[in-house]
A and B are shown apart, each in its own frame.
Chain A
Amino acid sequence: MIRVEHPGLLSTLQDLGRPGCQHLGVTPGGAMDSYSAAIANALVGNPPEAAVLEMTLRGPELSFERGAWVSVTGADLSAEVDGRPLACWRPVWLPAGSRLGFGRPRLGCRAYLAVAGGFEVTAVLGSRSTDLRAGFGGLGGRPLGKGDIIAAGENALALPDDPSRPYLPAWSVAWNRALPLECPARLRLIPGPDWQALPDEDRRALETDAFRVGQASDRMGLRLEGPPLRLAAAERLSAGVTFGTLQLPPGGQPILLGVDRQTTGGYPVLGTVASVDHPRLAQLRPGETVRFEPVPAERAQTLFRIRALQLRRLRASLGLRWPLNTPSS
């Protein structure tokens, strides 16, 4: 049992999302940085679909009634256990009574906490993800609140010999290779239906680092601020949009859609960020700058397949490491 002592800025339960429901107007949602979330799950022996806690900028404070294997990945939000820094991107055994907290956000925007066995909440439409706008999934469709109690599922990992002390294996995932957070962010963009309608100099502006992520940014979308972009047509017929779609409202300031986007949109579409760069998009925080590099869809798909292969290899190698590294084996 995990008790929420302080919820942080915005902490929600998420998994791989809710595909197959977009024709109902239901957004797929899920972890914004599904790559970091997948690694967090793999580190504690969870299947990819297990629910994790997504924590935004200011992390929560949680107390663990029972001992648990946990891992923290994604942004560096200064994780600490009982006031001492917590090693991230690796499994850690937290003994009963541990308090997991977070301090100053140092790098990136969203961190992920996985607990062995996964967070247990009822799945809605096939997913445990919190849909904040529609108000269902996760903890009743809302972020964590003070006093909430969350349960973890069945732990598949072997316990350490002495469960009264924190324990961590002598290895970790190379986070700077897994999640390069270079600045300014460079996002590869597959040009969309209205890219060619943009004047040459506006296309060039998108390829420089002139666009700042605005304060009014969330899981639905990131508002970008820069020189106003001009398009002859202000609207198009509402049609499907997706994670990473770069829309241009009449004001000329683009919006980069997040996982909790609407399923359809009527603003002109300049392009869509390549899937392989979605984790970097998810880690953008207000004030950061971003530039776009046009790539063909085929190139983006090759990069995606390489990334998927790397993730499969990582899962396989972690599976091999566990029996070798638990003291009980």
Chain B
Amino acid sequence: MDTFDAASSNFVPLGDSALLIVFGDRIDPAPNRRAIALSKALADLPGVTDRVPAYASLTLHYDPGVWSHDGLVEAVMPYLADEGGTVLEDRHLRIPVCYGGAHGPDLDEVARHCGLTPDEVIARHSGGEYLVYFLGFTPGFAYLGGLDPDLAMPRRDTPRSSVPAGAVGIAGEQTGIYPQASPGGWRLIGRTPLRLFDPLREPPCLLAPGDRLRFVPIGADEFEWRMRGKDR
């Protein structure tokens, strides 16, 4: 999908006030990077209220009092041809995680299911580098790529009624962090003291699309110390 034209299925109306621009049909860093780059390039386009990159698409929410569908497609086309000029920030973040115990009640179960020891699960989970594809689902929730496929484990049959903010979990071949306390069915292997989302902070989200991150194991003492600290 390297060439774009207005008549192709790359531009799909999502109703009369949103435009879906499709870059590919699989989870892959290349189309995701194009979506993020285009989103940044269109930051100053008037009449566009929201730009939402996803795995391999960008959705533009716009005012139909300002743009028609065809008019917006036409306005976006030149940016697609000239996306080489956009430089993406290359942020590398380290997310401290207290694995196991009260903070990761499902660690032992994940280890048994995967035929590993709990320490091996921690080593593999914290050994890899993850890419933030996009934020969605709930405020500050990051869709991450890069989980070791050997750590895949299905969701719990019965979701927990409450999972604390910062809980690090595994669901199928995904891993992620709960930004807010909420019900949830993910297998919880640890918890980070970092605050992923705070509406009163600028910026509100710790993570951004395109970020690369690593999980760094910390002890329970450091977790408690950081939970009390001002760096949250």
**Are B16 and A25 in contact, CB atoms less than 8 angstroms apart?**
no
- Nearest CB in chain A to that of B203: its residue: A24
**Are B15 and A239 in contact, CB atoms less than 8 angstroms apart?**
no
* A305→B67 CA distance, assembly (Å): 11
**Are A272 and B14 in contact, CB atoms less than 8 angstroms apart?**
yes
Interface residue? A133 (CB, 8 A): yes
Number of residue pairs A-B, CB distance < 8 angstroms = 153
The bracket for how many chain A residues form the interface is 35 or more
Contacts of B56 in A (CB 8 A): 237, 239
**Are A20 and B50 in contact, CB atoms less than 8 angstroms apart?**
yes
Contacts of A192 in B (CB 8 A): 12-15
A126 to chain B, nearest CB (A): 10
A49 to chain B, nearest CB (A): 14
Interface residue? B126 (CB, 8 A): no
Q: Which of A117-143 contact B (CB under 8 A)?
A: 124-125, 131, 133-137
Interface size on B, residues (CB 8 A): 49
* Of A70-78, A103-111, A171-179, A296-304, the one touching chain B: A296-304
**Are A23 and B140 in contact, CB atoms less than 8 angstroms apart?**
no
Taken residue by residue from 20 to 39, chain B's Cβ proximity to chain A (1 for < 8 Å, 0 otherwise) reads as 10100111000000000001
**Are A239 and B138 in contact, CB atoms less than 8 angstroms apart?**
no
Given contacts A22-B61, A125-B204, A298-B70, contact A134 B16 (CB under 8 A): no
**Are A274 and B138 in contact, CB atoms less than 8 angstroms apart?**
no
- The winner among A240, A269, A272 for most chain B CB atoms within 10 A is A240
* Of B106-114, B129-137, B145-153, B215-223, the one touching chain A: B129-137
Contacts of B27 in A (CB 8 A): 237
Given contacts A190-B16, A304-B65, contact A23 B199 (CB under 8 A): no
Is chain B's interface secondary structure helix, strand, loop, or mixed overall?
A: loop
Taken residue by residue from 285 to 327, chain A's Cβ proximity to chain B (1 for < 8 Å, 0 otherwise) reads as 0000000000001101100110010000000000000000000
Contacts of A274 in B (CB 8 A): 15-16
Interface residue? B141 (CB, 8 A): yes
A307 to chain B, nearest CB (A): 10
**Are A193 and B52 in contact, CB atoms less than 8 angstroms apart?**
no
A304 to chain B, nearest CB (A): 5
Interface residue? B76 (CB, 8 A): no
* Of A2-10, A50-58, A241-249, the one touching chain B: A241-249
Given contacts A125-B199, A136-B199, A190-B16, contact A238 B143 (CB under 8 A): yes
* A137→B199 CA distance, assembly (Å): 9
**Are B180 and A134 in contact, CB atoms less than 8 angstroms apart?**
yes
Cβ 8 A contact of A24, one of B59, B68, B204? B204
Interface residue? A217 (CB, 8 A): no
A74 to chain B, nearest CB (A): 21
* A25→B16 CA distance, assembly (Å): 21
Given contacts A24-B204, A25-B140, A301-B68, contact A240 B57 (CB under 8 A): yes
- The winner among B14, B26, B49, B180 for most chain A CB atoms within 10 A is B14
Contacts of A239 in B (CB 8 A): 20, 22, 54-57, 59
* A275→B15 CA distance, assembly (Å): 8
Interface residue? B7 (CB, 8 A): no
A306 to chain B, nearest CB (A): 11
Interface residue? B154 (CB, 8 A): no
Interface residue? B18 (CB, 8 A): yes
Contacts of A237 in B (CB 8 A): 25-27, 54-57
* A241→B199 CA distance, assembly (Å): 22
* A297→B137 CA distance, assembly (Å): 26
A19 to chain B, nearest CB (A): 4
* A258→B148 CA distance, assembly (Å): 36
Q: Write 30 A-B pairs (CB below 8 A) sorted by A numbering.
A: A24-B135, A24-B197, A24-B203, A25-B136, A25-B179, A26-B139, A125-B204, A134-B139, A190-B13, A192-B14, A192-B15, A193-B12, A239-B55, A239-B57, A240-B20, A240-B61, A242-B14, A242-B59, A244-B15, A245-B14, A262-B137, A264-B52, A272-B14, A273-B15, A297-B15, A297-B69, A298-B68, A300-B16, A301-B16, A304-B64
Can you add 4 more A-B contacts, CB < 8 Å, to A23-B51, A25-B136, A275-B17? A21-B204, A192-B13, A264-B54, A271-B15
Query: Sorted from nearest, which 10 A-B pairs have the closest CB atoms?
Result: A240-B59, A272-B15, A264-B136, A300-B16, A22-B50, A19-B49, A297-B13, A240-B52, A239-B54, A297-B69
